[in-house]
Amino acid sequence: MTNEIILHLGNVNSYYGRGKARKQVLKNISLTLHKGEVLGVVGESGSGKSTLAKCAIGLVTDIEGERKLNVENSQMVFQDSYGSLNPAKTVGWILEEPLRVRGLRDKKELRRRAVEMLQTVGLEEEHYDRKPSQLSGGQRQRVSIAASLIQGSKLIILDEPVSALDVTLQAQILQLLVDLKERLDLSYIFISHDLAVVYQICDRVMVMYHGEVVEQGDVDAVYDNPQHEYTKKLLEASLSLG
């Protein structure tokens, strides 16, 4: 891990809606992500995790505060894998599109790269010609991951990337993400409701509650010695489950 800063948010507020319906969702969020780091984001449903991800990557534009993104391209694996894959296109087309946009025209090479990426995330060549609607939820999630990996982004925001997968597959994909990170020097923001998974792959963790960050620090420190009441509750709940 170097000290190069990939992403910085300083006192960010964010809003949804316009006019009277304008409603604040994030309050005073600050975070810094260094190169090679994995930052976990946890918190209950509706606490603003996905919104934070979209702010960070620039998809939510109604924000106040400071935002600096120091990578040329960043990608996001969206929580809803159904909405993040174009229903009118095939899996192959979806995976090839980033390469086409970057100027690769050779059909054979495009196909080879797409199939290779499919296999990397544990899918088969037979999925190449399928439409997203002809895949299971877990398969779609893996196509989303493949689509974000294929473009060589240095920052990837993963919004519950493995939540629809069974335990073995989950472990396999997580291992893949870790390997790729080491090999390609990637940085991740990893959103999850599974505290064990966060513990496993994150360097630091942020705990969100009602649109605010109530605690943030090294994973070990936060898990061993939670400061905020909400963090304690969250840890207790996950321990009693596990």
Partner 1 sequence: MKKRNWYLRLGVVITFAVAAFTLVGMFYTPYDATQMSSADKYAPPSLSHLFGCDQMGRDIFSRTLEGIGTTVTIALATLAIGFLAGLVIGALCGYYGGLIDEIVMRICDAVTAFPSTLLAIVVIAVIGSGKYNVIAALGILFIPSFARLVRSEFIKYRDRDFVNMAKLTGVPPLRIIFVHILPNTWPVLLSGLTIGFNNAVLAEASMSYLGIGVTPPDASLGRMLSEAQGYLFTAPWYTVFPGLVVILLILGVGMIGEGIRERIGEKV
Ligand X SMILES: Nc1ncnc2c1ncn2[C@@H]1O[C@H](COP(=O)(O)OP(=O)(O)OP(=O)(O)O)[C@@H](O)[C@H]1O
Minimum distance, C-beta of residue 21 to partner 1, in the bound complex (Å): 15
Q: Coil, strand, or helix at residue 103? A: coil
Closest CA to 156 of 63, 66, 33: 33
Q: What are the structure tokens assigned to 71, written together?
A: 């990578």
Binds partner 1 (CB under 8 A): choice among 3, 19, 61, 87: 87
In this structure, the strands spanning 187-191 and 38-43 are: parallel
Count, residues in the chain:
242
Closest CA to 40 of 158, 214, 144, 138: 158
Q: Is 161 an interacting residue with respect to ligand X (CB under 6 A)?
A: no
Nearer to ligand X by C-beta: 115 or 205? 205
The binder of 47, among Mg ion, ligand X, partner 1, none, by C-beta within 5 to 8 A per type, is ligand X
Q: Is 147 an interacting residue with respect to partner 1 (CB under 8 A)?
A: yes
- Return the residues of window 56-95 that contact Mg ion according to CB under 5 A: 79
Binds partner 1 (CB under 8 A): choice among 47, 51, 75, 231: 75
Minimum distance, C-beta of residue 235 to partner 1, in the bound complex (Å): 31
Q: Is 141 an interacting residue with respect to ligand X (CB under 6 A)?
A: no
Nearer to partner 1 by C-beta: 75 or 231? 75
Binding mask 103-142 for partner 1 (x = CB under 8 A): ----------------------------------------
Nearer to ligand X by C-beta: 51 or 148? 51
> Angle at which helices 107-120 and 137-149 pack, to 10 degrees?
120
Binds partner 1 (CB under 8 A): choice among 73, 119, 134, 175: 73
In angstroms, the Cα distances linking 90 to 83, 97, 100, 121, 195 are: 14, 11, 15, 17, 34
What's the angle, vertex CA 228, arms to CA 226 and CA 231, rounded to 5? 65
Nearer to Mg ion by C-beta: 46 or 58? 46
Q: Is 50 an interacting residue with respect to ligand X (CB under 6 A)?
A: yes
- Specify burial of residue 36 (Cβ count, 10 A radius: 0-12, 13-18, 19+): middle
Binding site for ligand X (CB under 6 A): 16-17, 25, 43, 45-51, 79
